[in-house]
Chains A and B, each alone.
Chain A
Amino acid sequence: MSQHTKALLPSMVIFTLAWRNLWRNHRRTLIMLSAITVGVWAMIFMTSLLRGMVDDMLYNGIRHLPGEVQIHQHNYRDDPSINNSMSPPEAKLLTALNMPIVKAWTSRIKVPAVIASERDSRGVILLGVDPQSEVKLGFDLDSISSGRFLQGVNDNGIVIGAKLAERLETRLGKRVVIMSQDPDNNIADRGFRVVGIYRGKLASQEEMNVYAGLQTLQKMLKLGNQISEIAITAEDYRNTHQWFSTIENATEAPQQAMPWYEADSYLSTMMVTMDGFVLVWIVVVFMTLSFGLVNTLIMAVFERTREIGLMQSLGMRPALILYQILIESFLLLLIGLVAGNLMALLTIIPLKDGIDISEVAQGMEMMGNSSVLYPALKMKDMLMANAIVIVLGLLTSLLPAWHASRLNPVEALSRN
């Protein structure tokens, strides 16, 4: 028999002892297992809701920007006026924009303007877009609640949000007047027919963003081929840092590239804060569980003091006794984790189509959330919850296990 096999034999007996001792007081074990299961479920389920909420906030925020990376004339962010327009992308930047990781990009005009109906007028953000690339970038055609989206860069129509239409007391087919400034600071205005009304995920978007054809606006604003911004998106906003530098290196002054997490520090802070919050949440739930776990193990050790003394007198080393209590704890945690993970999956998967929170959506919209909450189950969060429960669980179990291994055999044997 090899040394390795020989070394495993004591492990087998302590595994048997740990497993059978676990079910010795099955009621207590089941109560503790239920607590671990519910705790793990709460960790994973609540984390997926929080992640879903933050994902939604970030996604909506990035859509509002929109794009994960934007290129502007360097003064544009301080003064988003027509005077800070820039030239369309040239060869070097075009090469970077067409790299495989980039899902879509588009050029836009984005200037402040006033929109007026026969009833009212409002300040808006006027977006001159290429509808085809805008759709690739993320504009949802299903958000058009009546009419149509723009059909080309020369489309003479305008698409406004439902909220804005309500404020202006206008509707599909009616004419509105857009007024802004040209580069010479002269008034540039033009009448547009409302060809489409969209529903935004956020009320603020619906009220502010007005879409017109790119070239139509270039003509109106006497911009030539100048644009306000280039917006770029890839598959996952979390990976923007992987490709941003390529775009940045291809951007020549006075143009400036900026990723979403710099363009909107609130959103990036939100992501980091949420990682910390998830960790705190998992640890807090675990700490609640740990009291039950330690109590269970202390009771188990207390009830078996005489047996522990017996095993010591038969020649079981203190380390093996410690090992046995830890295995018992590990088995308890493992079963609880499996059940908790399963329960979490079984509750999260049926909710993949989202949870309707429209009753509180107005309040949620203020935070940048939409009216449907999609739980986001991340492997990273599941692994973190499982790892924390196992590692901290075993660390917590060290105390009763250490106590058991240090028992005086004579005193232990004399216990009733």
Chain B
Amino acid sequence: MSSIICKDLCKTFQQGEEIITGLNQVSISIEKGDFVCLSGPSGSGKTTLLNAIGGLDKPDSGEIIIGGIRIDNLGKGALADMRLHNIGFVFQAYNLIPVLTARENVEFVMQVSGMPTSERAEKSMKILKEVGLEGMEERRPAQLSGGQQQRVAVARAIVSQPTLILADEPTANLDSVTASQLMGLFVELNQHHNVTFVISTHDVRVMKYAKRLIRMEDGKIIADESQ
């Protein structure tokens, strides 16, 4: 997986009797190892674009090509496999599986992809230590603070070394210190492991880390700047 190419993406939603435009002829190309922030007001189409790139939602028209593979016409199973092996997701709400411990949440993706027990235990313990959760491995999400839960979610997203991480408002529920630590982790992964990041955010603290800042409004890209 390397570059992401979106061509003329359109997506509308029905809300009551009203048709809402999520994406309107969006075309974008993102190179491998890029660090892109999508910004813009609520309803501008950031999350819709992120969901489309992640194969969570299908555009009404247009093409999405990731690593040379067109994904907008793949079936549910194939999309699931692509996400499992290539994409890490970080959501605004912490989105952990409540019946699993922090370690089990981190191991979840590796276990679904069939990684041996010893290997995934080693990786999960190491990554949890890196995100500062050593000693909390066997706690369930309800026993962790919001910041700790988000760090577990990040650990889960990066542990299987995906080539692309999609993050939707990852710092929205974090204090400034935790947000800064999280962004430091993202930058390190981007710089040392060449992981591509596409982050949707309102947070100016996040935007300052971006190599490329894309502004959206009413489902359109209105600015695309490298910094």
Contacts and interface: CB of A to CB of B under 8 A. Distances in A.
Nearest to A318: B76
A24 B97 contact: no
A318 B77 CA distance: 7
B1 to A, nearest CB: 14
A20 B99 CA distance: 6
Given A13-B108, A307-B98, A318 B114 contact: no
A10 B110 CA distance: 9
Interface in A309-350: 310-320
Contact of B83 (A6, A10, A20, A315): A315
B91 to A, nearest CB: 7
Contacts, number: 79
Nearest to B77: A317
A17 B98 CA distance: 10
A296 B81 CA distance: 30
B163 to A, nearest CB: 14
A316 B111 contact: no
A307 B89 contact: no
B17 to A, nearest CB: 19
Interface string B109-147: 101111111000000000000000000000000000000
Contact of B99 (A12, A17, A409, A413): A17
B155 to A, nearest CB: 13
A58 to B, nearest CB: 53
A360 interface: no
B116 A1 contact: yes
Interface string A6-17: 110110110011
A10 B117 CA distance: 11
Contacts of B116: 1, 5, 9
Contacts of A17: 97, 99-100
B99 A10 contact: no
Nearest to B110: A9
Main secondary structure of the interface of A (DSSP, over half): helix
Contacts of A13: 108, 111-112
A410 interface: yes
B100 A313 contact: no
Contacts of A255: none
A146 interface: no
Contacts of B20: none
A7 B114 CA distance: 7
A21 interface: yes
A16 B104 CA distance: 10
Interface string B57-68: 100000000000
A13 B110 CA distance: 10
A306 B116 CA distance: 28
Interface in B182-210: none
A11 B66 CA distance: 29
Contact of B80 (A1, A9, A306, A315): A315
A313 B99 contact: no
A409 B117 CA distance: 28
A273 to B, nearest CB: 49
A12 B111 contact: yes
B89 A313 contact: yes
Nearest to A307: B97
Interface in A279-329: 306-307, 310-320
B56 interface: yes
A16 B117 CA distance: 14
Contacts of B57: 408-410
Contacts of B81: 315, 317
A218 B221 CA distance: 115
B161 interface: no
Given A315-B109, A316-B112, A410-B57, A21 B99 contact: yes
Nearest to A24: B99
Interface of A: 1, 5-7, 9-10, 12-13, 16-17, 20-21, 24, 306-307, 310-320, 408-410, 413
Interface of B: 51, 54, 56-57, 76-77, 80-85, 87, 89, 91, 95, 97-100, 104, 108-109, 111-117, 156
Given A13-B112, A24-B99, A314-B83, 16 more contacts: A1-B116, A9-B111, A12-B111, A16-B100, A17-B100, A313-B83, A314-B156, A315-B82, A315-B83, A315-B112, A316-B112, A317-B76, A317-B77, A317-B81, A318-B76, A413-B56
